[in-house]
Amino acid sequence: MAFLSSERLLSVWEQGVRRHPIDRGLLLFALAAPETPAVHLADLPLSRRNAALMALYKTSFGGRLAGWVDCPACGERMEFAADAAEFPRPTDIELEPIEVDGLQFHRPTSRHLARLTDATDPDAAARELLLACAESPDSLPQDEDALAAMLVEVEQTMEDADPWADISVAVRCPACDHEEAAALDIASLLWEEVASRAQRLLDDIHVLAQAYGWSEPEVLALSDARRAAYLERVQS
């Protein structure tokens, strides 16, 4: 696994800053799994991507993750914090489809998510994902209620078989005490950390280049401690 050095972090930020979040996730996946050919990443299960990105986050930024969601009951912002060690330890994640009521369903991938980028209704998007993952879509129930019931069953079966496919954390609203299992989008959290660190690095380069006339590679070649020491002298 690649460690996000200052030079690599800026390069990844530059490549991903204008990409769609799904493509950013694949960009980070390529960094986290350099042994896997990039052309195959979009067709690997999201669980493999998520586990690899969690490991990259822990290696580069430590094991503490933080984020927020809006309370669905009252709209209050709910902040959450989690430790990477609290999540299930990744095991060998299977590629084979799962079976529900005699039907085969492929595990969701980044390519499946890409088909839902224009979806605005969550229920419709879930049905579309079910159809996309079904090995034989024509064999799915035609009745809406039966299809909805199968969707629930498929989701539960996938969650049981593959907990890394959809990571969540328990949060409690400080305003109304509502409890919620909030989805943890490790790709977004990792990208936010990359973008934040990149902006701070660019600020450091700007200040030191003005003060000492150093080039970007020269500034990035400094260790974090030496860079901070020079910044302290410039700003004192």
Radius of gyration of the chain (CA): 21
Question: Do 206 and 190 share a domain, yes or no?
Answer: no
Average pLDDT of every residue of the chain: 90
Contact yes or no for 2/8 (Cβ under 8 A):
yes
Same domain for 83 and 178: yes
pLDDT digits (tens, 9 = 90+) for 10-67: 999 999 999 999 999 999 999 999 999 999 999 999 999 999 999 999 999 998 888 8
Q: Are residues 76 and 2 in the same domain?
A: yes
Quickly state the pLDDT bin for 186 (edges 50, 70, 90).
Answer: very high
76/186 same-domain check: yes
- For residue 1, pLDDT over 60 is answered with no
- Check residue 168 and give its pLDDT: 83
Per-residue pLDDT at 163? 82
User: Are 144 and 226 part of one and the same domain?
Assistant: no
- The answer on 141 and 110 residing in a single domain is yes
* Exposed/middle/buried for residue 77 (C-beta within 10 Å: 0-12, 13-18, 19+): exposed
The runs of H, that is alpha helices, within the chain are 6-16, 21-32, 38-41, 46-61, 110-114, 122-133, 144-161, 186-212, 216-220, 224-235
What is the pLDDT, as a whole number, of residue 28?
97
- Say whether both 5 and 82 belong to one domain: yes
Residue 213 structural domain: 202-235
Residue 105 shares a structural domain with residue 119: yes
Task: Please give the pLDDT value at position 171.
Answer: 87
CA distance 133 to 28: 24
Q: Is it the case that residue 76 has pLDDT exceeding 70?
A: yes
* Whether 185 and 75 share a structural domain: yes
> For the segment 79-125, what is each residue's pLDDT rounded down to a tens digit?
888 888 888 776 666 678 899 999 999 999 999 999 998 888 888 88
Give the pLDDT band of residue 149 (cuts 50, 70, 90). Answer: very high
Q: How many structural domains comprise the chain?
A: 3
Q: Which residues contact 128 (CB under 8 A, 6 or more apart)?
A: 115, 116, 119
Instruction: Inform me whether the pLDDT recorded for 166 exceeds 90.
Output: no
pLDDT band at 2 (very low <50, low <70, confident <90, very high): low
Residue with tokens 């580069």: 60
Q: Give yes or no: residues 72 and 149 share one domain.
A: no
